[in-house]
C-alpha cells in the first residue's frame, strides 16, 4: 500500500495512471446515470406513499453526507497530525481521553444514528401499509410476463393497466399465478412482492391525474424486462365511467368483415387462452381481450397497441417477445384483416 507515513511521491507515470483511472471512472458513472434519464424516479413522487419514501431517502442522504464529511475531516486531521508526529517515537500515547472518544465516536453515535434511521424506515413502511379509508379494491395477478387486473366489485377484467381515481386511496391486492414477481410504480408506491399462494396488499394513491409507469422489479424469467404496466389516475367521474365501460360485454359484430373476424377468432385456438365477454371464448392463460382496443400497449408494454403492431403480434409474437406463451398464428391475409377488424371493435 502506498503509505501516508512515507512521504514518497508517486512518479509522473503513476499520477497519469491514476488520473486516467479517475476519468474512466467518471465516464462509467456518467454512462450509467444516463440510463436513468426518462425513467420514472422515486425521487419525483406523485402520491403520498412515494412522497414518504422520498422524504426518508433525502433524510438518509443528508445524514450520510454529514457522516461522510465529519469522518473525512477527522481522517485528514489524523493524517496531518501523523505526518507532523513522524519524528516522535510514539505519536499515540495511551490516553484515556482518546479511548472515550473512540467509544463515543465509533460505537455510541453510530448506534444512535442507525437506530433512529431504522425506526423511521420501519415507521414509513408501516404508514404505507395501513388502511387509509379507501373505497375500491383492485386485484393484480402477476403472470410470466404480464399483469392480470381485476375489479371484483364491478366484475371487470383487464390487463397491464390499473386505473385509479385521483386523490382516493385504492386497495390493491397482489398475488402471482406462477413465480415471484414484484409490483412497482416508482412515482406512486414502493415495491411489493408478488408471491404465488399469498396475497399482499398496498394502498395506492395518486395526487394528480396522469399515466404512471410500473414495472416488474423481481427477476422472473426471460422477459422480466418486458413486464410493464401503467397506472392511469383520472378524476373520480372519469374513473367510474371507465369502470362502467369496461364492465360491458364486447359489442355484437355489426358488419360482415367484423363478423368474419369474430368467426376466425372463435374458430381458432385463440379461445383456449383468451376470453372475450359476451362470446364463448373463456380462456384464462392469456389476457382477457374484451376491451383490448382500449389498452395502450401489447405484450405488457412491449409495443404500442396499433393495427400494424397487433397484426405482427398475432402472426408471430415470438419475434417481438421471445418466450411468451402465445404461439404463432397461421392465417391467410383475408382472415388476418377480418380478425384485426374484429379486435379493433373491442374498445
Ligand atoms: Cu415478473 Cu420480473
- pLDDT at residue 99, rounded to an integer: 86
- CA atoms of 335 and 329, how far apart (whole Å): 11
Q: How many whole angstroms from 258 Cα to the centroid of ligand 1? A: 35
Q: State the Cα–Cα distance between residues 48 and 18, nearest whole angstrom.
A: 45
State how far the Cα of 255 lies from the Cα of 264, in Å rounded to an integer: 14
* Local confidence band at 6 (pLDDT 50, 70, 90 cut-offs): very low
- How many angstroms is it from 240 CA to the middle of ligand 1? 30
Residue 276: pLDDT above 80?
A: yes
Give the model confidence (pLDDT) of 213-253 as tens digits.
Answer: 999 999 999 999 999 999 999 999 999 999 999 999 999 99
* C-alpha to C-alpha distance for 168 and 54, rounded to whole angstroms: 20
Q: Please give the pLDDT value at position 98.
A: 81
Confidence of residue 2 (pLDDT cuts 50, 70, 90): very low
What is the band of 4 on the pLDDT scale with cuts at 50, 70, 90? very low
**Pick from 14-28, 30-44, 58-72, 144-158: least confident:** 14-28
Q: Specify the pLDDT at position 125.
A: 80
Neighbours of 238 (CB within 10 A): 15
Strand partners of residue 7: none
Q: Is the model's pLDDT at 35 over the cut of 80?
A: no
> Ligand 1 pocket, 224 CB below 6 A?
yes
Return the residue whose CA atom lies nearest to atom 1 of ligand 1.
Answer: 181
| Per-residue model confidence (pLDDT) at position 129 | 64
The closest-lying atom of ligand 1 relative to the alpha carbon of residue 218 is 2
Q: Ligand 1 pocket, 142 CB below 6 A?
A: yes
How far is it, in rounded angstroms, from Cα 99 to Cα 165? 59
Q: Could you tell me the distance, in angstroms and rounded to a whole number, from the CA of residue 270 to the centre of ligand 1?
A: 24
pLDDT, tens digit, for every residue of 78-111? 899 888 776 565 655 667 888 888 899 889 999 9
Ligand 1 centroid distance, CA of 196 (Å): 13
**Whole-prediction pTM:** 0.81
The predicted model gives 309-313 an average pLDDT of: 95
Asked whether 17 and 28 are in contact (CB, 8 A), the reply is no
**pLDDT, tens only, 177-198:** 999 999 999 999 999 999 999 9
**250 CB within 6 A, ligand 1:** no
pLDDT tens figures, 248-267: 999 999 999 999 999 999 99
Residue where the block lists cell 379486435: 343
**220 CB within 6 A, ligand 1:** yes
**SS3 annotation, the chain:** CCCCCCCCCCCHHHHHHHHHHHHHHHHHHHHHHHCCCCCCCCCCCCCHHHHHHHHHHHHHHHHHHHHHHHHHHHHHHHHHHHHHHHHCCCCCCCCHHHHHHHHHHHHHHHHHHHHHHHHHHHHHHHHHHCCCCCCCEEEEEEECCEEEEEECCCCEEEECEEEEECCCCEEEEEEECCCCEEEEECCCEEEEEECECCCEEEEECCCCCEEEEEEECCCCCCCHHHCEEEEEEECHHHHHHHHHHHCCCCCCCCCHHHHHHHHHHHCCCHHHHCECCCCCCECCCCCCCCCHHHCCEECCCCEECCHHHHHHHHHHHHHCCCCCCCCCCCCCHHHHHHHHHHHHCCC
Q: Quick one: average pLDDT of 140-160? A: 95
Find out whether the beta carbon of 156 lies less than 6 Å from any atom of ligand 1: no
Residue 216 burial (CB count, 10 A): 28
The answer to whether 165 touches 235, Cβ cutoff 8 Å, is yes
- Asked whether the beta carbons of 310 and 317 are under 8 A apart, the reply is no
22 CA to centre of ligand 1 in angstroms: 36
Q: What is the pLDDT of residue 59?
A: 94
pLDDT at 61: 96
Distance CA 344, CA 291 (A): 9
Sequence-separated (6 or more) residues with CB below 8 Å from residue 7? 83
Side-by-side strand order, sheet with 189-194: 161-165, 228-234, 210-216, 181-185, 189-194
Amino acid at each position: 500500500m502506498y503509505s501516508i507515513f512515507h512521504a514518497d511521491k508517486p512518479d509522473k507515470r503513476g499520477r497519469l495512471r491514476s488520473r486516467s483511472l479517475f476519468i474512466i471512472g467518471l465516464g462509467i458513472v456518467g454512462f450509467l446515470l444516463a440510463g436513468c434519464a426518462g425513467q420514472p424516479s422515486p425521487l419525483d413522487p406523485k402520491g403520498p406513499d412515494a412522497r414518504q419514501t422520498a422524504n426518508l431517502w433525502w433524510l438518509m442522504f443528508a445524514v450520510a453526507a454529514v457522516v461522510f464529511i465529519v469522518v473525512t475531516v477527522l481522517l485528514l486531521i489524523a493524517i496531518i497530525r501523523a505526518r507532523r508526529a513522524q519524528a516522535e517515537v510514539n505519536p499515540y500515547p495511551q490516553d484515556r481521553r482518546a479511548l472515550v472518544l473512540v467509544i463515543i465516536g465509533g460505537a455510541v453515535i453510530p448506534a444512535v444514528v442507525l437506530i433512529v434511521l431504522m425506526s423511521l424506515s420501519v415507521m414509513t413502511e408501516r404508514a404505507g401499509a395501513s388502511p387509509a379509508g379507501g373505497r375500491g379494491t383492485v386485484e393484480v395477478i402477476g403472470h410470466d410476463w404480464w399483469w392480470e387486473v381485476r375489479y371484483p366489485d364491478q366484475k371487470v377484467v383487464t390487463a397491464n393497466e390499473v386505473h385509479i381515481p385521483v386523490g382516493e386511496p385504492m386497495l390493491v391486492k397482489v398475488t402471482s399465478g406462477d413465480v415471484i414477481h414484484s409490483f412497482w410504480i416508482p412515482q406512486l408506491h414502493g415495491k411489493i412482492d408478488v408471491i404465488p399462494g399469498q396475497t399482499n396488499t398496498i394502498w395506492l394513491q395518486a395526487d394528480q391525474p396522469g399515466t404512471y409507469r410500473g414495472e416488474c422489479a423481481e427477476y422472473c424469467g426471460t422477459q422480466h424486462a418486458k413486464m410493464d404496466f401503467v397506472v392511469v389516475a383520472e378524476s373520480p367521474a372519469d374513473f367510474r365511467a371507465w369502470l362502467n365501460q369496461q364492465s360491458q360485454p364486447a359489442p355484437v359484430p355489426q358488419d360482415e368483415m367484423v363478423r368474419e373476424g369474430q368467426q376466425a377468432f372463435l374458430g381458432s385456438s385463440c379461445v383456449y387462452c383468451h376470453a372475450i365477454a359476451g362470446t364463448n371464448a373463456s380462456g384464462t392463460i392469456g389476457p382477457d381481450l374484451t376491451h383490448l382496443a382500449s389498452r395502450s400497449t401489447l405484450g405488457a408494454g412491449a409495443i404500442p397497441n396499433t393495427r400494424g403492431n397487433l397484426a405482427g403480434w398475432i402472426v408471430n409474437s415470438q419475434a417481438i417477445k421471445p418466450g411468451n406463451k402465445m404461439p404463432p398464428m397461421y392465417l391467410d391475409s383475408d382472415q388476418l384483416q377480418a380478425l384485426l377488424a374484429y379486435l379493433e371493435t373491442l374498445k
